[in-house]
Amino acid sequence: MTRLDIHAAAALVVAFAVQLAALLADRMSAAAAAGAVVLALSTVVFVTQVARAPVAAAARDDAAAADERDRLLRKRSRASVLLDHADGTAGEWDRHVRPVLAREFLLALGSTHRDDPEAASRVGRDFFGERSWRWVDPAGAEPGTAQRPGPGRATFVTIVERLGEL
């Protein structure tokens, strides 16, 4: 229903109500005539609201789609930055990549292991293996290794794939 259709329907309803009130004025009290006009106007309001509902829903859907696009773009941007740091030094890994991986791992574990660091460490070693766990372990950053090469993109991808299996 277009806007013109809505206005035409509204005009017809109002005209009908006014004509009805004029024709029946002799037989109706003023309150009844006013009631007929109020009923007609509320019908107009109802029709316009019903007609506008699909437009409002479409606007909400468009806004939700735009929000989802923005969220995915932010996520892609963060992933790109993490990949850049994964290819960097061990210090970059410890400052930027390890906290994200550790947080994701602990969230995937749930509250039972999250509150017990030793249990989380055991599960991490068993799940990732000793070689990969040392790059995820929240307490695994070693002082004095900041300028050494980091584990690289391949290790990062392997860890992320394993996290996806949790």
In angstroms, rounded to a whole number, what is the distance separating the alpha carbons of residues 162 and 34? 72
Q: Which of 12, 6, 1, 11 is nearest to 54 (CA)?
A: 1
Type of residue numbered 58: A
CA 104 to chain centroid = 18
CA 109 → CA 44, 84, 103, 115, 166, distances in Å?
57, 27, 10, 10, 8
CA 159 to chain centroid = 26
The domain segmentation of the chain, as residue ranges, is 3-68, 88-164
Q: What pTM was computed for the model?
A: 0.56
pLDDT in tens, 154-163: 999 999 999 8
pLDDT in tens, 98-119: 999 999 998 888 877 667 888 8
Determine the Cα angle at 65 with ends 61 and 68, to 5°: 140
pLDDT beneath 70, residues of the chain: 1-57, 113-114
